[in-house]
Amino acid sequence: MPDYALAARLVQELPAPVILTGGMSDARSVREAFAQTGAAAVMLARGALGNPWLFAELVGDRQGPPTRAEVGEELEWTIARAVEHLGATRATRYLRKFYPWYVERLQLEPQRAKRLQAALQQSETLAQARALFEQCAVPRALAV
């Protein structure tokens, strides 16, 4: 957990703008960090991974979490870009680190999410990974 009390002191004492980063993974936590610290800006890093909807929520263009269909569309876009840049074989392994971010957005029952995550980490092809997501009612947005 970031030390927001220290950040607030730095905001008061430093002659330069303070940019806050760390510990912010949803709009509520970003707003609370702003309120607690008075920072000039925030930098979203890991909190935005697999969650591009966070930016729209922060600027008031969106309310609430993404639908499963939106998660599926975003994941499919990410898969397509990985294949485009790495090829299917390398992308299959590379994308394993991305799946937890998307599984979290599905808001599944914890045991089901855990089983899905384990299966995704063992999937040997992108077709297998896609099929696992489709079993969780995450439609494929793009053609393979």
Q: How many CB atoms lie within 10 A of CB 28?
A: 10
Torsion angles phi and psi, residue 16, rounded to 5: -115, 155
Determine whether 41 is exposed, middle or buried from the number of CB atoms within 10 Å of its CB (0-12, 13-18, 19+). Answer: exposed
pLDDT grade for 144, boundaries at 50, 70 and 90: very low
Alpha-carbon distance 110 to 61, whole Å? 29
Per-residue pLDDT, 140? 57
Bin 50: left if φ > 0, else alpha if -120 < ψ < 50, else beta. Answer: left
Evaluate the CA torsion angle 11, 14, 17, 22 in order and state its sign. Answer: negative
pLDDT of residue 142: 42
DSSP code at position 65: P
Q: What digits encode the pLDDT tens for the residues 22-76? A: 888 889 999 999 899 999 999 998 888 889 999 999 999 999 889 988 998 999 9
